Amino acid sequence: MKSAHVHLLSAALAELKGIGAGLSRRHPPIRVLDIGCGHGQLMIDLAEHWSRSAASLPELQIYGFEVYDHRAGIPGFAESLIDRLSRAVREVAWDDRVRFAAAGDPWPFEESFFDLAISNQVLEHVKDLGAFFAQELRVLRQGGSSVHFYPSKESLVEPHCGVPWAHRVDRDGLLRWLRSWSRLRIGKFPHYRRSRGSTLHGFCEEFFDYLGRYVFFRPNSEIRSLALEGARKAGFGYQWDLLGRGLRDEWELFPYSYCEGLSRRSLFAALSCSTLVRRF
């Protein structure tokens, strides 16, 4: 399991404990939404972990959501995703569990439907973050939570291309910046050349276009301010848990202790993704 998935799901399981879910089979089904579910691996990881621990736990219903403007617009993507999920977790009818919409449309779920929402490296791809948080507020029940793991503008390295500060360079100088670092073999160009046969020119042009069209980095102060709208509490949590895992190089999935107090600042945003928690 990817280290990001281990951390995010450990925080998500802690939030479920904190909101009183997952304690007894008498609890109604717990519904979790993976926002920007991609190829579904985070959903599969959560389903497999829950099934191994299900003796004393209530039913867990996992849903996924993707937008046509990004991956879901690729021909055959939806069918491939449903097929992958169906082969990994056979007992679920995934056709109704994974839904799609355009980025600016209302999310295709009813109000107060979910106990928990999660996302892995999604917030930096959202153009209208205020509308995103408003839709999340609409589909989560009162007492629910969300956990988002994402890189912010404070990050030293742009995580998609691996080039330092590429997300902070203006468009006029970005292509030159990408070429300079990639020539030094700093960033993901060496990997792209080995695995895809990419040329230096092709790699830099690809990420010049990608960073201009699909990525919207914001400072964490702005993100938290938007996240507070409609939320009982919003801030950064499970930061020391992630640091401890990294120092110990320990990546087994287990619930963290519930993080009662949320911080106004993401302490390690320059070196790692941030963990934003919203509670309703």
pLDDT at 70: 74
Q: Say what angle helices 129-139 and 220-227 make with each other, to 10 degrees.
A: 40
Is the per-residue pLDDT at 22 higher than 60?
no
pLDDT at 52: 83
At 64-111, the pLDDT tens digits run 999 988 766 788 899 999 999 999 999 999 999 999 999 889 999 999
Give the mean pLDDT of 153-157. Answer: 97
Is the per-residue pLDDT at 257 higher than 90?
yes
Q: What is the mean pLDDT of the chain?
A: 93
pLDDT at 206: 97
Instruction: Judge contact between 220 and 265, C-beta under 8 A.
Output: yes
Is the per-residue pLDDT at 56 higher than 70?
no
Q: Percent of the chain beyond pLDDT 70?
A: 95
Pairing verdict, β 114-120 and 30-35: parallel
Is the per-residue pLDDT at 23 higher than 70?
no
- Report the alpha-carbon distance of residue 122 to residue 119 in Å, rounded: 6
Pairing verdict, β 60-67 and 140-150: unpaired
Question: How is residue 29 annotated by DSSP?
Answer: P
- Report the alpha-carbon distance of residue 121 to residue 213 in Å, rounded: 16
Give the mean pLDDT of 41-68. Answer: 87
Q: How many helices (H) and strands (E) does the chain have?
A: 10, 7
Give the mean pLDDT of 5-13. Answer: 96
- Report the alpha-carbon distance of residue 58 to residue 128 in Å, rounded: 35
At 195-249, the pLDDT tens digits run 999 999 999 999 999 999 999 999 999 999 999 999 999 999 999 999 999 999 9
Tokens 């205020």 identify what position? 130
Give the mean pLDDT of 178-191. Answer: 98
What is the architecture of the domain spanning 3-153+218-279?
3-Layer(aba) Sandwich (3.40)
Rounded to two decimals, the pTM is 0.94
Provide CATH 3.40.50.150 ranges for the chain. Answer: 3-153+218-279
